[in-house]
A = this chain, B = another copy of it.
């Protein structure tokens, strides 16, 4: 698998995880019907990447020109809507899917920023924005104080993961192991920080 394909796959997995997370949060937060659940799942999943693309100036955002994003996000939300009773058996489905999205997006977001010509510092910031943006939009829409403000370590793991991904890439580290190390560090710090 080429680095570009790896990036696309990880990004779509992140989209799925955040759509699941947004839809599960939606169902807990308010009396939403199918349409509301899908809308919140899609916004959570695509919001962070769209914000990154807007700040990069690479417009229209990838999530608007590539139909796989919207398709995967809708699927994630529908899985959450119909699979809700099964997912509840997992100990903390919202925490897990949120952490997965955070870890994947800080890695893919910084790589996409580097590819678009951003410097290393900007790439770290934009990786964190990709990771944090969707969840923050989700919280604002369901009227919660955003996790980034109250959740202890939330921005810091995303910044750590993005920093490892950018620094490792400059040191010549390989695609998949580097992505695992960066995303894993982000996830570990996020889960430990709670």
Contacts and interface: CB of A to CB of B under 8 A. Distances in A.
Contact of A36 (B32, B55, B56, B149): B149
B60 A122 contact: yes
Contacts of A35: 152-156
Contact of A60 (B36, B55, B155): B55
A55 B50 contact: yes
Counting every copy of the chain, the complex holds 3
A8 interface: no
A125 interface: yes
A145 B143 contact: yes
A35 B160 CA distance: 14
A26 to B, nearest CB: 7
Nearest to A156: B35
A168 interface: no
Interface of chain A, helix or strand or loop or mixed? helix
Interface in A32-55: 32-33, 35-36, 39-40, 50, 54-55
A146 interface: yes
Contacts of A150: 30-32, 36
Interface stretch (A9-17, A62-70, A97-105, A169-177): A62-70
Contact of A59 (B32, B55, B142): B55
18 contacts: A35-B155, A36-B148, A36-B151, A40-B149, A50-B55, A54-B59, A55-B60, A55-B61, A55-B64, A60-B122, A64-B126, A65-B119, A65-B122, A67-B121, A70-B125, A141-B145, A141-B146, A143-B145
